[in-house]
Amino acid sequence: MNKRFYTLLLTLAFLSGPLFAKPDGKKGAAPKQTPMQQWEATPAGKSYKQWQASPAGKKVYAGEALIQKQIKDFTNMEAVVISLTLPPGARLGFGIMVKIKGTDYILAFGPEKSGKTFEIKKDFMLLHSLKVNDKITIRSHHVSHAPKYAYPIIAGDYIAKGGKAMYKRPIRTGAC
């Protein structure tokens, strides 16, 4: 009886094994796509890929590569203010256009108005005194891009003029 019971149990376990196994290598099964691959298949993803391959996209990426070492090391970059306004249609908040090593960049600081009262942030007061052709020193932790803009976008973390700090991005408290 005992021998028969174990034989029956072993046979049952052997035959039910394939039922619970993962179906690896089934014919006709498509490989699972990552979320990035799924997005790249959408019209927006295809448009972005076309922009990356276009001369405008390559120019933006070349501008990012030019300052990548200074961004990574958070070291000084010498810049010249070339415009006190952002390109038409920009939705980056307060920012200016600068030239670093012969390449134009957007220097973005974030929303200029604070809260519901729409007062100009006190942090930006000194930045409003900048003029075209002023030489400034920039430090940043981040450079980005977007197909909407023909220039790389530098996040302004620290700005100085003539050795005097004009702006330091406030450190967030209570954030991740």
Q: Residue 103: its pLDDT value, please?
A: 94
List, in sequence order, the alpha helices (H) in the chain. Answer: 2-20, 35-40, 43-53, 55-73
CATH class of 46-168: mainly beta
Residues 6 or more apart whose Cβ sits within 8 Å of residue 121: 94, 111, 112, 113, 114
Give per-residue pLDDT as tens, 69-107.
999 999 999 999 999 999 888 888 889 999 999 999 999
Give per-residue pLDDT as tens, 123-169.
788 888 899 999 999 999 999 999 999 999 999 899 999 989 998 88
- Taking CB atoms within 8 Å and a gap of at least 24, the contacts of 25-28 are none
| Mean pLDDT value across residues 10-39 | 71
Query: Does residue 105 contact residue 98 with C-beta atoms inside 8 Å?
Result: yes
Q: Residue 119: its pLDDT value, please?
A: 52
Confidence of residue 12 (pLDDT cuts 50, 70, 90): low
Domain positions in the chain are 46-168
